[in-house]
Chains A and B, each alone.
Chain A
């Protein structure tokens, strides 16, 4: 009986060991094959991405015609190149991925069961700037998986389709937001000036996070058309945080039309954070008409406001024709 148990145990151990050995050998052989094929086809990929137009076309035709086994090895390498180059080389890579059916597969994978597969497909379509995938990506903003939603939002930004702007903003309007505001902001920035009309339409949205995101993006875009709306946020928003962001945005846009509202925001009737933000914005805005206000703020009771005014004056430099050193006082903290 003992012998029988021993024999069975030994057999099981032997089988497990044999299995492990076979698996390792197979994996090594596979890795070696991948290395060999990668090395063999690397010159083609380099010519495709960095070659002269004629060489690139020849290389593209050669890669497009590779057998399935070779392509399976090269596909991840080709996809990785998407994020490393731009210009003609990148366009060749996108064309190749289209020709090999990779982009069509990714569009189909947007509806896949696995969250990883959906996210990978969204990421690829975004990186390939595959406008044909935009509708599927918009749908993914309502995906049940938070990571998938975030990847889809990022991909929509990469594609930079203006039609995605209102959808991205809607993803912020739930509690909690379906996509992190920073991701939405980045994507809206990538969409650029073409998204400004949708941003302006949402600047007084009832949800605070939408308003604050919109205000930040308008400032970063330097949207001059948004100055009246930003001034309104600065004056009227119910949240100090949004008002502070509006001040910063107005400073970044840099139109003198914002000066009266920014000056008003520095008054002692305003919350301290807003006064600081407004003083900083006046410096960023860079209008010489703000110099008297900033000088007056140097004596402010709130040292942080005075410090911002000093820093702003330093960045503005002396007014034209004024050579007196007292026109560029040091920040309060540096005295």
Chain B
């Protein structure tokens, strides 16, 4: 089963994202900060990560940058979920290696569509590698 990591320090957001993804048939691992997110990727090898940009300890950007440095997670699809909508923030997200960007307040349905699209692209890319 496809596993998705959801990292957000806001319990409501975490639960809403997890609910929507589980309803769509994905297995979801929820964590509440960046350190836990890195641990979860290293131990659980999810197929995609949804990272909040602003988390205590390690931010989503820090986590994303670290994931890209590690061989096992260098190609893990990452969606950044954040309330920061300034152009510079979005650009910083992409610079660190995020594959997509969803702004809060978010639409659960739109997030699901983006997850599905990214997983499909990642599947294609994996097959091509």
Contacts and interface: CB of A to CB of B under 8 A. Distances in A.
Contacts of A64: none
B23 A85 contact: no
A166 interface: no
Nearest to A52: B23
A106 interface: no
A81 B12 contact: yes
Contacts of B13: 84
B105 interface: yes
Contacts of A50: 16-17, 19-20, 23, 108
A83 interface: yes
Interface in B19-74: 19-20, 23
A88 interface: yes
A84 B12 contact: yes
Contact of B107 (A42, A51, A52, A85): A85
Interface string B92-118: 000000000000111111100000000
A80 B105 CA distance: 11
Interface centre among A51, A52, A81, A89 (most CB of B within 10 A): A89
Contacts of B10: 84
A51 to B, nearest CB: 7
B19 A89 contact: no
A90 B105 contact: yes
Nearest to A89: B108
A46 B16 CA distance: 6
B15 interface: yes
A86 B19 contact: no
A77 B106 CA distance: 17
Interface string A204-237: 0000000000000000000000000000000000
Range class of the B interface residue count: 10 to 19
Interface residues of A, number: 19
B104 A84 contact: yes
Nearest to A53: B109
B110 A51 contact: no
Contact of A87 (B19, B23, B104, B107): B107
B12 A80 contact: yes
A90 B108 CA distance: 10
A90 B15 CA distance: 15
A104 interface: no
Interface string A70-99: 000000010011011111111000000000
B23 A51 contact: yes
A87 B111 CA distance: 11
A86 B16 contact: no
Contacts of A49: 16, 108
B105 A46 contact: no
A245 to B, nearest CB: 20
Nearest to A47: B19
A42 B105 contact: no
A55 B23 CA distance: 11
Given A46-B16, A81-B12, A86 B23 contact: no
A85 B106 contact: yes
With most chain A CB atoms within 10 A of its CB, the pick from B15, B17, B107, B108 is: B108
User: Which 3 pairs, one residue from A and one from B, show the smallest C-beta to C-beta distance?
Assistant: A87-B107, A50-B108, A46-B19
15 contacts: A42-B15, A46-B19, A50-B17, A50-B19, A50-B108, A84-B12, A84-B13, A84-B104, A85-B16, A85-B108, A86-B105, A86-B107, A87-B107, A87-B110, A89-B108
Interface of B: 10, 12-13, 15-17, 19-20, 23, 104-110
Given A50-B23, A84-B13, 4 more contacts: A46-B15, A50-B108, A84-B16, A87-B110
